[in-house]
Amino acid sequence: MKKDILIPEVTDVFMAIVKEYNDDFKCDDWNAYIINHKEVALEMVLIVSKGDEATTQLKTSILRKKIEKLPAKSFAKVEYINPAVLRLNNIFEVTFFEGNKMFDKKFTFKKGTVKEGTLRMIPLLKKEGVLLK
Q: What is the pLDDT along the chain (133 residues), one digit of tens a residue?
A: 566 667 789 999 999 999 999 999 999 999 999 999 999 999 999 999 999 988 888 999 999 999 999 999 999 999 999 999 999 999 999 999 998 899 999 999 999 999 999 999 999 999 999 999 9
Residue 59 domain-assigned (yes or no): yes
Collapsed DSSP state (helix, strand, coil) of residue 47: strand
Residue 114 domain-assigned (yes or no): yes
Residue 53 domain-assigned (yes or no): yes
Residue 28 domain-assigned (yes or no): yes
DSSP E strands, the chain: 13-22, 27-36, 42-53, 58-59, 63-70, 74-81, 89-98, 101-109, 120-122, 127-132
Q: Which domain holds residue 127?
A: 8-132
Is the pTM higher than 0.75? The answer reads yes
Number of folded domains that form the chain: 1
Residue 1 domain-assigned (yes or no): no
Identify whether the C-beta of residue 81 lies closer than 8 Å to the C-beta of residue 63. Answer: no
Residue 2 domain-assigned (yes or no): no
How far CA 117 is from CA of 19, 112, 114, in Å, comes to: 12, 10, 8
Residue 57 domain-assigned (yes or no): yes
CATH number of the domain enclosing 62: 2.60.40.1600
Identify whether the C-beta of residue 125 lies closer than 8 Å to the C-beta of residue 35. Answer: yes
Residue 3 domain-assigned (yes or no): no
